[in-house]
Structure 1
Amino acid sequence: MVTQSHTAAEAEAKVALNRNRLVLEQAKAIGLLGTAKNTRLSGRVPSELVEAAKKRAHVTSDTELLELALSRLALEDDFGVRLVGRKGTIPTDVDLGI
């Protein structure tokens, strides 16, 4: 018998893996991935943080986690900044239908 939480966890994993694939494909398409791995990155972080991030991203290796995290950061859009920057730019006579 499949429980509701088991099904939800499987769905969450499927969405996360699909999102990861799309991020990595986009990073590869613009030349951020797929070239020679010529930089070593190291640092000290809490193991709990690494394990929680791996669990959330549904990855198992440190390299996968770093590639995914750096790709997400490099591809992140600036929607929030642009939205806040538009504050006060809509003319007061515009009918917003409210």
Structure 2
Amino acid sequence: MSNRGATAAENDKRIAHTRNRLVLEQARADGLLGAAKTTRLSGRVPVELIEAAKKGAHVTSDTELLELASSRLALKDDFGARLVSRKGSVPADIDLGI
């Protein structure tokens, strides 16, 4: 599938949908998402915040937003620790082509 001619907005949407799918797949694989939705979550927040979050995540419903946001928060993000642990593992004389 070629993305030639796609606008920046279309590319952003495609990337967001891919990231969302991967996050939800990982949450499902970790046993965080199942078929039964047994908990109700409610709160009062500014509508502007919710609409901006939905727009940024390219989702349309409050449920989608909550599921995605909760999954992102619940999944372990060890990027920083993994990056720091690699310090010194790349030779200083490597040609980066810069």
Same fold (TM over 0.5): yes
How many pairs were matched up? 87
Q: Which runs of 5+ in 1 are unaligned?
A: none
Q: Which residue in 2 is equivalent to 1:66?
A: 66
Cα RMSD of the aligned pairs, angstroms, is 2.3
User: Equivalent residue for 2:28?
Assistant: 28
1:80 shift after superposition: 2.9
- Residue range with higher mean Cα deviation, 11-20 or 31-40: 31-40
Q: Does 1:13 align with 2:7?
A: no
> Which protein is bigger by CA-based radius of gyration?
1
Higher helix share: 1
- What code does the residue aligned with 2:36 have? A
Question: Which stretch shifts more, 63-72 or 26-35?
Answer: 26-35
**Cα distance between partner residues in 1 of 2:65 and 2:72:** 11
TM-score (norm. length: structure 2): 0.75
1:40 & 1:68 partners in 2: Cα distance? 15
Gaps of 5+ in 2: 94-98
Q: Secondary structure at the match of 2:7?
A: helix
Name the aligned partner's letter for residue 59 of structure 2: V
Normalising to structure 1: TM-score of the pair? 0.75
% identity of equivalent residues: 71
